[in-house]
């Protein structure tokens, strides 16, 4: 009996040590969640450079046939 209670007490103390209370954050919209996540995440310099380079290569799309028809 004593052995079981010691084991139970040890396992409970291990669980208590590993479970740390985390403050829950509620977001009003998914955009707020994404902004919060972006503020917490650092982008590696190599990826930031690649994104900057690829963003400059974007050309505006041509107007669709429907818009050209009425212009």
- Is 27 in contact with 33 (CB distance < 8 Å)? yes
Give the helix ranges, DSSP H, for the chain: 2-18, 30-40, 45-56, 65-70
Residues 18-28 have pLDDT tens digits of 556 668 889 99
End-to-end CA distance of the chain: give it in Å, rounded.
89
Residue 11, pLDDT above cutoff 80: no
Residues 43-68 have pLDDT tens digits of 999 999 999 988 887 777 777 777 77
Q: What is the pLDDT of residue 21?
A: 64
Distances (CA, A) of 20 to 17, 42, 50, 51: 7, 24, 38, 37
């Amino acid at each position: 009996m004593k052995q079981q209670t010691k084991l139970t007490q040890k396992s409970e103390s291990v669980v208590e040590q590993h479970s740390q209370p985390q403050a829950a954050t509620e977001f009003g919209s998914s955009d707020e969640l994404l902004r919060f996540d972006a503020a917490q995440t650092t982008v590696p310099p190599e990826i930031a450079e690649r994104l900057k380079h690829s963003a400059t290569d974007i050309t505006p799309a041509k107007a669709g046939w429907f818009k050209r028809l009425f212009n």
